[in-house]
Amino acid sequence: MRIEDYALIGDMQSAALVGRDGSVDWLCLPRFDSPSCFGALLGGPDNGQWWIGPATADRRPATRRRYRGDTLVLESEWDTARGTVRVIDFMPPRQANPDMVRIVEGVAGTVEMATEIRVRFDYGRIVPWVRRSDGLLHAVGGPDSIWLRSPVPLRSRGYVHHGSFRVSAGERMAFVFTWHPSHEPRPVEIEPFEQLAETESLWTEWAGRCTHSGPWREAVVRSLITLKALTYSPTGGIVAAPTTSLPEDLGGVRNWDYRYCWLRDATMILDALIGAGYLDEARDWRAWLLRAIAGRAQDLQIMYGVAGERRLPEMELAWLPGYEGSRPVRIGNGAVNQLQLDVYGEIANSLYLARASGLEPDDRAWTIQRELIDYLEGHWDEPDEGLWEVRGPRRHFTHSKVMCWVALDRAIKAVEKFGRAGPLARWKALRDRIHAEVCDKAFDRARGTFTQSYGSHELDAALLLIPVVGFLPATDPRVVGTIEAIERELLSDGFVLRYPVAKDNDVDGLPGGEGAFLACSFWLAEARAMVGRRREAVELFERLLDLRNDVGLLSEEYDPRYGRLVGNFPQAFSHVPLIHTARALG
Ligand SMILES: OC[C@H]1O[C@H](O[C@H]2O[C@H](CO)[C@@H](O)[C@H](O)[C@H]2O)[C@H](O)[C@@H](O)[C@@H]1O
């Protein structure tokens, strides 16, 4: 199944991907970063899958799919020769244990249906013991246990459970799947139809609070719902995506685990939420940030677990064949130990935006911000891995230095506009020094463009953020020249590559190529708008909207070679600039 064939359901602690054919191919419980119990996404049905659909020889894709209004309740419908059937999938707001509900509803005529379930714990490795208890299916393996309440009898064949049934117009049948720790007593049963109503009203009410009123509201609201679904509600942490190892290069090795909170991605999400009026989420995220980074400034990490965990060791799951053979499948993320100087600027910017939006002050925020600036004063001139988390040697990345400038600029503004105390003259002198150094060492006068790192020849789409963060005005000829150079050298079918990736260069220390990076493509649309090229900005923005799948979701990249979405899915880093650009163009 293609990545764009999946839809997302979730309960703001974890999420599942439901395929167009009615199969749940990805679900990690109890948290986003827990081992999967359905992992077919990264292998095959035998790595865990739950399918429900019309009982035909092949598993047919749904005739149509949609979310119910502005919710995360998914409806897939199949028209068959005998009638029409609907499957409603959702995860209710978490009570004691996580539940997934699948309701089969007859729409017209009578349809023969089937279901097939393979529970596989620990990323497809553990085939659990399964037994029947009080008419429910109970599977246990290691720390995990699930209970499945099925309205139809299920028979076992090998390690698979099957059921066949028929549904007529007006009939509704609910399957309830509940996870719980295997050492605990059986969980309390939920009432699926009540939960459907509650889940629907929760999302509708939340989406109704969106203050964005410009054009493209539908795309903005769907993106906001997706960001909310990626929020781990007990802590306020936000994951970059709910998946691991969906490849950036189909069949290649660029497969990473995104089920963690990157400070960069999350600070940008905060900006999007504040802009749409979601101050409660912004408050929760700021509280998460302050807890996660509490401690010594030198120990700041670029990413954390959803509860602020610091150790996220990267390892390979050798038993999983990977999405369309893209190996290795990785969990954990080695980038956790990298130096990425841009995060200091991103933190300062988000705290600045929080203050400007009227979020009540938090003294700890300023204390930490000052400590981070103290640290940066002694380290800004070091080479780093940059925002793209390159796995090759460290460099003086231009974007990182620009963001060091942002860190100082926003600290200075906190003093000047919000009455905070700090060594203004010293900070201003350093801000000017960084500015001068970037303009001197990162600008290629012959080509009229900034470059990826000091003295390099390569371009980098992150340079499109120079006017957005206020480092230079959009009208500056160096900004205009950089945009034009990126348009000359980094476009693929009109979409933007983050940097040149070819067999004969080694920009990121990794083999293979990759698709166009969707965030960078949105940044180009915004940059065009800023330099007064609105028509071209809108044109690109609308082409990007067309890349969303049928339920409005985007992954990290789009590969024009195959005309397919690639990379982890759905990806916050793509939905955030969608919201941002809609606002800028609106
Ligand atoms: O392509 C190499 C790197 O890819 C991942 O990083 C990307 O995703 C992050 C989360 O959205 C984003 O913050 C970063 O800017 C992207 O480059 C991966 O996590 C890295 O380990 C990998 O080196």
CA of 440 to the centre of ligand 1 (A): 28
Q: Which two tokens stand for residue 367?
A: 């204390």
Indicate if ligand 1 lies below 6 Å from the C-beta of 257: no
Residue of minimum CA distance from atom 17 in ligand 1: 388
Q: Is the pLDDT of residue 514 over 80?
A: yes
Beta partners for 101?
Answer: 90, 176
534 lines ligand 1 (CB under 6 A): no
Distance CA 556, CA 490 (A): 17
Q: Which region among 174-178, 226-230, 353-357 has the lowest average model confidence (pLDDT)?
A: 353-357
**Structure confidence at residue 508 (pLDDT):** 80
Does ligand 1 lie within 6 Å of residue 51's CB atom? Answer: no
The pLDDT of residue 246: 98
Q: What is the mean pLDDT of residues 66-75?
A: 98
Task: Name the band, by pLDDT with cuts 50, 70 and 90, for residue 502.
Answer: low
- The verdict on the CB of residue 520 being under 6 Å from ligand 1 is no
Question: Once rounded to an integer, what is the mean pLDDT over residues 528-532?
Answer: 96
Mutational test site, ligand 1, from 269, 389, 464, max ligand atoms within 8 Å of CB: 389
Give every CB contact of residue 432 below 8 A, 6+ residues apart in sequence: none
pLDDT score recorded for residue 299: 96
Residues 449-493: tens digit of each pLDDT: 999 999 999 999 999 999 999 999 999 999 999 999 999 999 999
Positive or negative CA dihedral for 142, 144, 147, 148?
A: negative
Which amino acid residue places its CA nearest to atom 16 of ligand 1? 388
Residue 566, Cβ neighbours under 10 Å: how many? 29
User: Strand pairing of 49-54 and 74-80?
Assistant: unpaired
Distances, alpha carbon 42 to alpha carbons 251, 272, 327, 349, in Å: 12, 31, 9, 37
What are the helix (H) ranges across 83-175? 121-124
| pLDDT of 509 above 90 | no
* Domain regions of the chain by residue span: 3-204, 209-585
* Helix-strand-coil split of the chain, %, nearest 5: 35, 25, 40
- Does residue 317 have a pLDDT over 60? yes
pLDDT, average across residues 43-49:
97
Q: 264: Cβ below 6 Å to ligand 1? A: yes
Q: What is the mean pLDDT of the chain?
A: 96
Residue nearest to atom 14 of ligand 1 (CA): 388
For residue 506, pLDDT beyond 90 = no
> CA–CA separation, 538 vs 544, rounded Å?
10
Give Cα 117 to chain centroid, integer Å: 27
Q: Which residue has the tokens 């990298």?
A: 338
Q: Is the distance from the beta carbon of residue 517 to the nearest atom of ligand 1 less than 6 Å?
A: no
Task: Please give the class, per CATH, of domain 3-204.
Answer: mainly beta
Cα 388 to ligand 1 centre (Å) = 6
Residue 504: per-residue pLDDT: 56
Cα-to-centroid distance, 391 and ligand 1 (Å): 10
Could you identify the atom of ligand 1 that is nearest to the CA of residue 264?
A: 13
Tell me: domain 209-585, CATH 3.20.20.220, correct?
A: no
Ligand 1 close to Cβ of residue 391 (< 6 A): yes
pTM exceeding 0.90: yes
Under DSSP, the state recorded for 89 is E
- What separation in Å is there between the alpha carbon of 467 and the centre of ligand 1? 23
The pLDDT of residue 130: 95
503: pLDDT confidence band, cut at 50, 70 and 90? low
Nearest CA to ligand 1 atom 18: 256
- Is the pLDDT assigned to residue 176 strictly greater than 60? yes
d(CA 27, CA 41): 9
ipTM value? 0.93
**pLDDT of residue 511 exceeding 90:** no
Is residue 28 within 8 A of residue 35, CB to CB? The reply is yes
What percent of the chain is modeled with pLDDT above 90?
Answer: 92
Q: How many CB atoms lie within 10 A of CB 353?
A: 17
**Alpha-carbon span 538 to 501, nearest angstrom:** 27
C-beta of 116 in contact with ligand 1 (< 6 A)? no
Is it the case that residue 295 has pLDDT exceeding 60?
yes
Residue with tokens 């080509």: 447
What share of the chain in percent tops pLDDT 70? 99
In three-state secondary structure terms, 373 is helix
Q: 358-398: per-residue pLDDT in tens?
A: 888 888 999 999 999 999 999 999 999 999 999 989 999 99
